[in-house]
Amino acid sequence: MDSISKAIPVSDLRSVVLLDRLGQEALYGLMECARNVFLIDDAGSVVWQVSSDFDSDGDPFTNIFMEGGQLKAYRWDGGSYSVDVQTGRAVPDQLLK
C-alpha cells in the first residue's frame, strides 16, 4: 500500500503528493516507482502523474518542495527537477549529489 510522504497544497482544491516508493521496484516496476508524484484534486482523483525522460531508470522522487513559486522535486539519483504544476512534466535542473 502506498503511503504519502509529503503533500503540498497548490490551490484550495488541489495538492501535489509524494508517495514513498523507495525500494519497491519489485512491487511497482521501475517506471511506476520513478513516477511517484501526483497532482490530486479535492475528491482524491489523480489529475496528473509526474513524468520525465529518465523514468526508465526507476529512481523514485524522495522530496518535493516549492522554491520561488516553482515546484521542485529531488530524485534518489541526486538530481533536482523542476515540475510543471499544470502538466506534471519534470525537467532536470541540477545535480545535487
Query: For every one of its 97 residues, what pLDDT tens digit does the chain have, with 9 covering 90 and above?
Result: 568 899 999 999 999 999 998 878 888 889 999 999 999 999 999 999 999 998 988 889 999 999 999 999 999 888 899 999 999 999 999 765 5
- Residue 1 confidence (pLDDT): 52
The pTM for the full model equals 0.91
Given phi > 0 = left and psi -120 to 50 = alpha, else beta, which region is 78? left
> In the chain, what are the domains?
4-95 (2.40.10.480)
How far is the C-alpha of 1 from the C-alpha of 19, rounded, in Å? 10
